[in-house]
């Protein structure tokens, strides 16, 4: 589902963010991307979303070579990828319902479909009763669930989460992880960048560790622990 | 993907409301620039038309000396009529010349009072088939007894128009500069609107909105601003005092009462539609410039 072949990303001023990274994530997999700040996790996410292009190498997302994708095809690519961020990225002046509906509106989904799908996905993330509220009126965990609902509402093949629990307390984090696990079990490939030891250790899923732009570990059912290679 | 029209309209309406102040500024700048540019073009158009009309009216004047004998005069008239280049010859007596003179300077009685009817020469008014043939006629008549002076009155007209040309050219370049300023201002308005919504746009792009989906409401906003600006400009031009002021800046011909230089409502309607179209063009260009940098998410 996500495959990179020897990608290298060098930013201006010879800053090497990724060096010769090759990973292969198959459909319906749940993968943690771990590593210290500056290890290249965010760059990896950006490249998959085609927010940026690699200096060299190839990236295949859902069968398409993203590195060479024409810019007008990028929107179509992104419709296959749901995104969840540490800071939720919700629109403060729109209600929970509208925030989720927004993701469907911008891709031209009809009103009828929006009215059916949004409550359904809000129910899935456990916020069926929060639809008319503004994000400000919700707790952090609830806001993150709204953003997950938005990412998942059009049933993407891939869900990318960049530190989704970074701003949340451990209990709330576990709820978010349960939700991501639920989405994963429905067939969506999940790639999650995180710093959270406890979560990675508890989930026992595949772990890819980056350090200074190099893959230092790629392990089925791994734990966090830097340098704790098996 | 079809972009929903109601969505685009609603978005641009919200933007215009949110940035009312700068929107009004942009509309005014577009209005003023189009007014300046439009009036320059209008004057050019009206001048060209007046020039055509006057040139077709104006004749070659063959002034006669005071001591010309009636025989010489008849002979001269016959010769003129016989020339193949000549379309029509009319005789103007001293009395007729004085009548005309009085009419032309009706608002300057001093000049009329100080001129005796006898002071004006009698003349033949010669209408040429081709006005460019003036040289031929002059060469043939020059030095002939009884002929005092031969004058191509078209020349007078041309000099008159030349005098106003520099002025018109300047106002045209002024208008171009203001046109550019208007485009930049619209770009700024759009950019501000985008800036206040960049978070929203970022999310739109991340969930897979196409560039056009993001762009169209902003472009619509620019077009609406340009359109209103154009309408404002046309409205200013249609004000009666403005129209007469414009008409008065054009060249006026003392000897041609029947063709007053005028900017007509027809001219304004014709150029007004151009101006409104230009306003919309400014809007599109401005919003495209304003948008360019923000869309590479």
Ranges of each domain in chain B? 5-54+158-294, 59-152
pLDDT in tens, B56-79: 666 788 888 888 888 888 888 888
Interface of B with A in 197-236 (CB under 8 A): 199-200, 202-211, 213
* Residue A138 predicted with pLDDT over 90: yes
The reported pTM is: 0.67
Contact criterion met (CB < 8 Å) for B199 and A91: yes
Residues 6+ apart with CB under 8 A from A109: A117, A154
User: In this structure, are residues B90 and B137 in contact, taking their beta carbons and an 8 Å threshold?
Assistant: no
The whole-number pLDDT of residue B181 equals: 82
Which of A51, A53, A70, A75 to substitute to test the interface with B, most B CBs within 10 Å? A75
pLDDT in tens, B186-196: 888 778 777 87
Between B19 and B200, the higher pLDDT residue: B200
pLDDT in tens, B8-17: 787 777 777 7
Could you give the angle at the alpha carbon of B204 between the alpha carbons of B201 and B210, nearest 5°? 105
Query: In the predicted model, what is the mean pLDDT of residues A128-150?
Result: 94
> Across the interface, which of B1, B203, B211 has its CB nearest the CB of A108?
B1
Interface of B with A in 80-119 (CB under 8 A): none
Contact criterion met (CB < 8 Å) for A75 and B210: yes
The pLDDT > 90 percentage for chain B reads 5
Confidence of residue B271 (pLDDT cuts 50, 70, 90): confident
> Across the interface, which of A78, A91, A108 has its CB nearest the CB of B206?
A78
What mean pLDDT is reported for chain B? 79
Most confidently predicted of B110-124, B150-164, B270-284: B270-284
> Across the interface, which of B203, B209, B210 has its CB nearest the CB of A91?
B203
Confidence of residue B29 (pLDDT cuts 50, 70, 90): confident
* Residue A197 predicted with pLDDT over 50: yes
**CB < 8 Å to B11, chain A:** none
> Is the confidence metric ipTM above 0.90 for this complex?
no
The whole-number pLDDT of residue A119 equals: 95
The whole-number pLDDT of residue B259 equals: 55
Contact criterion met (CB < 8 Å) for B208 and A102: no
A112 touches chain B (CB under 8 A): no
Place of tokens 């400009």: B233
The pLDDT > 90 percentage for chain A reads 71
The whole-number pLDDT of residue A31 equals: 95
The whole-number pLDDT of residue A229 equals: 46
Closest to A195 (Cα-Cα) out of A218, A165, A161: A165
Query: In the predicted model, what is the mean pLDDT of residues B105-114?
Result: 76
> Distance (Å, rounded) from C-alpha B282 to C-alpha B295?
20
C-alpha A66, offset from chain centre: 16
pLDDT in tens, A53-70: 999 999 999 888 998 888
**CB < 8 Å to A83, chain B:** 206-207
Fold of B59-152: Alpha-Beta Plaits (3.30.70)
A51 touches chain B (CB under 8 A): yes
**CB < 8 Å to A91, chain B:** 199-200, 203
Query: In the predicted model, what is the mean pLDDT of residues A124-139?
Result: 94
pLDDT in tens, B195-241: 877 888 888 888 888 888 888 888 888 899 899 999 999 999 888 88
Q: Is residue B110 packed enough to be buried (19+ CB in 10 Å), middle (13-18) or exposed (0-12)?
A: exposed
> Across the interface, which of A77, A83, A106 has its CB nearest the CB of B213?
A106
Q: What is the DSSP letter of A135?
A: G
Interface of A with B in 125-164 (CB under 8 A): 150, 154
């Amino acid at each position: 589902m996500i495959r990179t072949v020897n990608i290298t990303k060098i930013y201006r001023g010879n800053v090497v963010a990724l060096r010769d990274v090759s990973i292969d994530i198959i459909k319906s997999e749940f993968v943690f991307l771990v590593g210290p700040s500056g290890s290249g996790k965010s760059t990896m996410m950006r490249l998959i979303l085609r927010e940026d292009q690699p200096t060299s190498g190839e990236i295949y997302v859902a069968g398409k070579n993203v590195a060479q994708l024409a810019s007008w095809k990028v929107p179509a690519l992104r419709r296959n990828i749901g995104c969840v961020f540490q800071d939720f990225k919700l629109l403060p002046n729109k209600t929970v319902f509208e925030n989720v509906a927004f993701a469907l509106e911008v891709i031209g989904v009809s009103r009828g479909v929006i009215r059916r799908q949004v409550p359904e996905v809000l129910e899935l993330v456990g916020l069926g009763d929060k639809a008319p509220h503004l994000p400000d009126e919700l707790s952090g965990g609830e806001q993150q669930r709204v953003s997950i609902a938005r990412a998942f509402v059009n049933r993407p093949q891939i869900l990318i989460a960049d530190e989704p629990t970074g701003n949340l307390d451990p209990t709330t984090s576990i709820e978010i992880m349960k939700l991501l696990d639920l989405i994963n079990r429905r067939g969506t490939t999940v790639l999650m960048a995180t710093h959270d030891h406890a979560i990675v250790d508890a989930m026992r899923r595949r772990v890819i560790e980056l350090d200074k732009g190099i893959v230092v570990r790629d392990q089925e059912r791994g734990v966090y622990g830097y340098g704790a290679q098996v | 993907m079809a972009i929903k029209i109601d969505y685009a309209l609603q978005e641009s309406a919200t933007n215009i409301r949110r940035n009312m102040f700068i929107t009004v500024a942009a509309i005014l700048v577009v209005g003023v620039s189009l007014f300046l540019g439009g009036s320059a073009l209008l004057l050019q158009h009206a001048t060209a038309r007046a020039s055509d009309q006057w040139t077709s009216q104006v004749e070659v004047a063959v002034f006669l000396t005071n001591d010309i004998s009636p025989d010489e005069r008849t002979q001269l008239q016959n010769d003129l009529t016989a020339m193949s280049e000549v379309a029509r010859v009319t005789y103007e007596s001293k009395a007729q010349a004085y009548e005309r003179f009085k009419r032309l300077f009706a608002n300057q009685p001093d000049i009329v009072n100080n001129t005796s009817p006898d002071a004006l020469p009698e003349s033949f008014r010669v209408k040429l088939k081709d006005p460019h043939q003036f040289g031929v006629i002059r060469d043939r008549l020059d030095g002939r007894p009884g002929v005092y002076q031969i004058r191509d009155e078209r020349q007078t007209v041309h000099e008159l128009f030349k005098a106003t040309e520099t002025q018109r050219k300047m106002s045209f370049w002024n208008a171009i500069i203001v046109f550019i300023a208007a485009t930049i201002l619209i770009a700024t308005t759009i950019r501000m609107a985008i800036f206040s919504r960049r978070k929203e746009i970022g999310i739109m792009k991340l969930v897979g909105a196409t560039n056009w989906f993001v762009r169209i409401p902003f472009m619509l906003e620019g077009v609406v601003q340009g359109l209103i600006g154009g309408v404002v400009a046309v409205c200013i031009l249609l004000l009666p005092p403005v129209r007469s002021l414009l008409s008065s800046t054009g060249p006026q011909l003392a000897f041609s009462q029947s063709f007053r230089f005028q900017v007509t409502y027809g001219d304004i309607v014709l150029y007004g539609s151009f101006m409104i179209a230009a306003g919309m063009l400014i809007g599109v260009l401005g919003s495209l410039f304003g948008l360019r940098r923000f869309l590479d998410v």
